[in-house]
Structure 1
């Protein structure tokens, strides 16, 4: 079972995630911010409150996203660097 063990927030609503596999990956939250459940995350201060609970990323107000989605739709940090200009 894939789990998030650490999270940090960076610019442009990105999450840098560490998984129980030891991998560090980057996840872009921007495509999700138009969904009502994630509306509060459009505030950068609120977005920065991300933390790990029970193996996934959560925010106050019972906002969370499945660790399987975070893993499947993220890119390895080294791979991301290769994609950046």
Structure 2
């Protein structure tokens, strides 16, 4: 768990409680390595789709803003 600077072996060594481990795992970002592994290929596919949709939405927004600026300055 690179995000927290925690060694998972601490759990096996007995220096980390189950509760602490559960809290750390629940707080992981969806893009973390462990969360991606746990979500499996379906989760990765959904993440990729969401990223593609966000990119497309941003592209549309920028295009609309660009068209407004062109009209404002009489360029289009």
Q: Greater share of strand residues, 1 or 2?
A: 1
Which of the pair has more CA radius of gyration?
2
TM-score per shorter chain, which class? Answer: under 0.3
TM-score by length of 2: 0.25
More RCO (CA 8 Å, sep 6+):
1
